[in-house]
Amino acid sequence: MIRRLLNFVVYLLGLAARPFRLLWRALDFTRRAIPNLILLFVLLLIVAAVLQPGPSVPAGAALILRPSGALVEQTVGESALDGLFSPDGHARTTVLAGLLEAVRAAEEDPRIKLLVLETDDLDVAGLSKLAELRAAIADFKMSGKPVLARGERFSQGQYYLASVSDEIHLARDGFVLLQGLASFNTYFRDALDKIGVKMNVFRVGEYKSAAEPFVRNDMSRESRAAARELLDGLWARLRDDVIVARKLTPERFDAYAIHYRDALKATQGDAAEAARAAGLIDHFSSREQWQERIAERLRMTPGARFGKKYPRIEADGYLAAVRHERQRAPAQIAVLVAQGMIVDGDPQTAPDVVSGDSFVRLIREARENRRVKAIVVRIDSPGGSATASEVIREELELAKKSKPVVVSMSSLAASGGYWIATAGNEIIAEPATITGSIGIFAAIPDISSLYAKLGLSVDGVATAPLAAALDVRRPLAPEAAQALQLSIEHGYRRFIDIVATARHMQPEAVDRIARGRVWSGTEAVALGLIDRNGGLDAALAAAAKRANLGRYTVVWPAPEVSAMRQLGRLFMSASADSEAAASPAVRLVNTLAADLESLRFWNDPRHIYVHCQCVAP
């Protein structure tokens, strides 16, 4: 009887557990099925990519250049999904090298008859990047093929790029903005004083202004003079390029750029007409009229609309076609991009920084790769951690023993950016590149007054005076301050010696042009800081010559980006507004956030930085 009762209880328990067993089996099946489905999806994508015919270039076509977002040296961790998450459906960045390659290839391609430049989606771009792309477009035009440009409106950078065209079209209600160049920083001293935070700054070089925003309420006299001289030189470059391209007189250009209000008065506030009266544009056109004009220049049937009736190919499609047609040479030149602030270690949370450890890995892999015959280091960085800069420089010096290393400077290669550049066999920079800023500083916050205001006390014991010297909750001890200043002075002498050795100069001569001062690429050639002016093409040619290469393939190694980091960027981009479309209030918030966010990357273990508070215009 008891046995039957027990069997009955077991039977009831089995009935009760059956739904849970079924649920577990379903979960287990799902767990095993999902990876298989993902693998199947990936395999289908690979098969589709293999079976899909290569892109083709139509005969007699227009090459469409439509740069979108920021013009950058390299995009790390972005995917095709980024465009889906951006507010306007366009990519957030455009890689300069891809545009240069497409324009250079189209110059000699008989299938391309016309280059069309549409700048409305272009956002942030350094002057040197625009100048480099503009020079490539000018060479294309010299081959006898026309270049047409149009904008609904033109910002200064957009117009500078478009000004090289044979024809410039503007929407009837558009404008051309030529407002000059400016450099303004936010200064935090009063705000820090109010909350009880003091920033202890140690530096060498009266022009080393990177830490000034935290200890002053305005620009120092030296910083103001250097910034004025630099901006005047860059503005003269932009102004002269536009004057030559548009066949203007300097007086006519200045009448528009400097006396814009008077230009508007003359046209009763019609900004588009003011631009035409100044000779800055050639025609007004609607989008439909623009498409008809392109078709007309291609000798197509009039009335072609919205690109449906004339042969055309976008820059990315054309580049894919050209690369598909080319026979890749076994010899390689590796272009390593140092883009962003230089930071110590390998932080996984920041995509747009030069991580010391990860960049060293890229150099080492290129050095050990037998197919890589030369290395080009493309620098677009204001510097940062002195420790990371030296680690990178040492690895480049090691690479230079086995293969040529050529440095190509983009918009900004200052302070730590110049530090790593000294390892190159040759340094090449655009005339509008900002470089130099040979100086060094340390910044240690002191929040003891803030603690006092909050009623917080700090007390304890230590075995030596410097044991807790860098505790930000306590005032900085005089012994620690003196030690830091001595370290900074030594670091500056070290920087000077590195430059002197690399550039075959006397330390005294380097010191006279150093002290934290920034220079344009043109000035840097005259001072001996770089070898010559030129862009990425010149650097690749120099590397190929040093390695005795005829044919070669250019490769662009990039740090690996984890899936979680890519996912985080996608979600960040989903909530980010385009800078070009942002209101002044949004721009203000973004600027303040960027100023404070940069402090997160000041992670040098010695608190010593070779960083330039300079933004390439």
Q: Which residues are catalytic?
A: 208, 415
Q: Is 535 helix (H, G, I), strand (E, B) or coil?
A: coil
> What type of residue sits at position 79?
S
What is d(CA 381, CA 383) in angstroms, rounded to the nearest whole number?
A: 5
614 by DSSP, 3-state: which? coil
For 595-610, give one letter per residue: b (16+ CB within 10 A) or e: eeeeeebbbbeebbbb
Q: Find, among 143, 156, 124, 146, the residue nearest to 241 by Cα.
A: 156
Nearest to 415 by CA among 610, 252, 241: 610
* Closest to 66 measured CA to CA, from 151, 153, 165, 164: 151
Token output for 317: 């499609």
User: Sheet harboring 283-284: ordered strands across?
Assistant: 283-284, 167-170, 147-151, 112-118, 61-65, 312-314
CA-nearest of 65, 87, 612 to 340 is: 612
CA–CA distance, 539 with 201 (Å, rounded to integer)? 38
**DSSP letter string, 509-520:** HHHHH-TT-EEE
Element (H, E) at 387: helix 386-400
Q: Which of 169, 94, 97 is nearest to 124 (CA)?
A: 94
Residue 19 structure tokens: 């739904």
Nearest to 208 by CA among 23, 364, 490, 441: 441
DSSP-based three-state secondary structure for 444? strand
Listed in order, strand segments (DSSP E) in 183-331 are 198-204, 283-284, 312-314
**Alpha carbon 38 to chain centroid, angstroms:** 34
CA distances from 107 to 100, 113, 117 (A): 11, 9, 15
Q: Round to the nearest angstrom and report the end-to-end CA distance of the chain.
A: 94
